[in-house]
């Protein structure tokens, strides 16, 4: 008995390779499903989430700075410890926001072992900016191809 498969005629994905700071190929890539028309919405949502994350983080920093600083349990003072926790929480939320657009694990691939910091979101957005027009172009090509293939087929609809 043989297995049954369905295979699409074309590969509707866009793979973007990732290089390290020295320009060497990391072997990682971002993969975008061009049939997913929600990429621009995901990008917009990621940017909205970034603004929200940043505002929450700034408010947390203001509140921490208003508190009286006490000696901590170990090396860090109480305010330093709270600051570090707020930063780590901010970085985690920022990574999730970027992964909305880049795909799960996409941010880690782009960082290639580097640590997240206050500027990472904006740096990655600057790096992926050239991909946006390419995604739009490829999606438009697919849409036009589908319209050409099926658009002229005007059959009567049964009611």
- Residue 78 domain flag: yes
pLDDT for residue 158 is more than 60? no
CA dihedral 70, 67, 122, 32 (to 10 degrees): 80
- Residue 75 domain flag: yes
Contact 44, 132 (CB under 8 A): no
CA dihedral 66, 67, 69, 75 (to 10 degrees): -100
Q: Is 148 helix (H, G, I), strand (E, B) or coil?
A: helix
**Residue 97: domain span:** 38-128
- Residue 18 domain flag: no
Number of structural domains found in the chain: 1
Give the number of other CB atoms < 10 A from CB of residue 94.
Answer: 24
Q: What's the whole-number average pLDDT of the chain?
A: 86
- Residue 63 domain flag: yes
- Residue 8 domain flag: no
- Residue 133 domain flag: no
Express each pLDDT in 14-56 by its tens digit.
888 999 889 899 999 998 887 787 888 899 999 999 999 999 9
- Residue 147 domain flag: no
pTM here?
Answer: 0.79
pLDDT confidence of residue 79: 92
- Residue 91 domain flag: yes
């Amino acid at each position: 008995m043989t297995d049954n498969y369905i295979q699409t005629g074309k590969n509707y994905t866009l793979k973007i390779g990732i290089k390290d700071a020295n320009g060497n190929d990391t072997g990682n890539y971002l993969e975008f499903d061009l049939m997913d028309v929600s990429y621009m919405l995901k990008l917009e949502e990621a940017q909205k989430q970034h603004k929200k994350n940043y505002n929450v983080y700034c408010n947390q920093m203001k509140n921490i700075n208003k508190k009286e600083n006490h000696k901590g349990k170990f090396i860090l003072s109480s305010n330093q410890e709270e600051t570090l926790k707020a930063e780590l929480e901010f970085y985690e939320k920022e990574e999730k926001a970027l992964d909305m657009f880049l795909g799960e694990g996409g941010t880690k691939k782009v960082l290639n072992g580097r640590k997240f910091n206050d500027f990472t979101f904006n740096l990655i957005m600057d790096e992926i900016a050239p991909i946006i027009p390419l995604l739009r172009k490829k999606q438009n090509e697919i849409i036009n191809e589908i319209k050409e293939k099926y658009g002229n087929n005007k059959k009567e609809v049964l009611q």
